[in-house]
Amino acid sequence: MDVIKIRKDFPVLGKKIDGRNIVYLDNACATLKPRRVIEAMNDYYENYPACGGRSVHRLSTRVSIACEEARNKVQRFINAPSEKEIVFTKNTTEGLNLVARGFGLKKGDAVITTDKEHNSNLVPWHMLREKCGVAHIIAKSLPDGTFDIEDFKKRMKDGRSKIKLASIYHTSNLDGYTLPAKDIIEIAHDAGAHVLLDAAQSVPHIPVDVKRLDADFIAFSGQKMCGPSGIGILYGKEELLETLEPFTVGGDSVASTTYEKSVLLGPPHRFEGGLQNYAGIIGLGAAVDYLSALGMDSIEKHEKTLNARLARTLSEIRHVSLIGPPDPALRGGITSFNIEGVAPHDIAMILDESANIMVRSGTLCAHSWFKARKINSCVRASFYFYNLEKDADALAGCIEKIVTDFCR
Ligand code: ALA
């Protein structure tokens, strides 16, 4: 990959703060946007800022066509069998909530997650337990953060006929570890459960093929894959979307209504009530084109190279502890760490203010994991394809300096 050339596509990478370029390593939270995405959205606002799916005039028709083209692009990107299986949502969280609310789980049923879930794949199950009495089972990770497949198998066996849904992260936002999703899905299916993958951190970074995985649902977000914020995707197998109950209904989600009754449209439109985020959908389509042209295999390889380089340097710095598997090949493009005796938010601020290095710090929307392990929080650096080796080196150099200055 020609990273120097690629970087020219990202306007913000050409800008300076305090006279220096930025080193953006907060990609697991939100990625930067290439010019092509920004232009696609501007084109919508400048040239056809109408609504889609309703009016028959030319501007509106153009919106409808552009949105359905974006849907087809997403379909091809994840190898979904039908465009009807691609539902536009606000973000991953909304996709997960849509399944949690609409899947028809009731008292006596159970859902299984892991002990490493983002709050978006935890809070909906807490609510379902409190409101409807749906049990929540938690599969354990191994001490290094990898998936304990034996524990999962046992829990699926013990909970057979009770566990209706396994809702699990695909790639962890905490440490970058990617689960053996295909095996997990097979185990869940054999036990009679469906599977929902929180794919917010996988779809932007590795090739994801829903047909090969045989995933029932996957949810992900535009903003983590070079697209705009405020747009997400829920993929669901067509026959499951047919029975999933929508929670936002209204304009454009119905075929017809009387005063007494509504006839819903089929998927995906029945889930897309109200005017949509047209600029976001169109921008997402442009982001998918951009990533497809680069190739997901190349993106994955590049991130792993940078993470391995960072790991080599960090392993030589005392007082630094890593979160997740020690082998960087198992952590995609993510390195989460702590420096003994230095608060993560302080580290993040020092990195930002002294070197324009932007990382995330805190509990990464996974308080439950940190609390269970009595770790306050951490710093997370996350790479993307536009990062350079010198970005990894700059981070390592600053960490070394912080250790020298603050650790005795
Ligand atoms: N899920 C996002 C992150 O991990 C917000 O940063």
Mean pLDDT taken over the chain: 97
In angstroms, the Cα distances linking 338 to 88, 362, 376, 381 are: 37, 11, 10, 11
| Angstrom distance (rounded) from CA 226 to CA 311 | 25
Which residues, in sequence order, are bridge partners of residue 323?
Answer: 336
408 against 180, higher pLDDT: 180
pLDDT at 134: 98
Q: Residues 23-41: what's their mean pLDDT?
A: 98
Which residues of 274-390 form beta strands (DSSP E)? 320-323, 334-339, 357-358, 360-362, 378-382
- Ligand 1 binding pocket mutation candidate from 29, 378, 382, 383 (most atoms within 8 A of CB): 29
Which pTM value belongs to this model? 0.96
Ligand 1 pocket, residue 28 CB under 6 Å = yes
Dihedral class, residue 358 (left if φ above 0, else alpha if ψ from -120 to 50, else beta) = beta
**pLDDT for the residue numbered 408:** 76
Residues 335-380 have pLDDT tens digits of 999 999 999 999 999 999 999 999 999 999 999 999 999 999 999 9
The whole-angstrom separation of Cα 211 and Cα 83 is 13
Question: What is the 351 CA–ligand 1 centroid distance (Å)?
Answer: 19
AA identity, residue 398 = C
Examine the residue annotation and report whether 378 is marked as an active-site residue of this protein: no
At residue 1, the pLDDT reads: 86
Amino acid, res. 78: I
pLDDT of residue 63: 97
What are the tens digits of pLDDT across the range 160-190? 999 999 999 999 999 999 999 999 999 999 9
Mean pLDDT for 248-274 is 94
According to the model, what pLDDT value does residue 252 have?
86
pLDDT at 69 over 90: yes
Ligand 1 centroid to Cα of residue 252, in Å, is 31
Residue 264 has pLDDT above 90, yes or no: yes
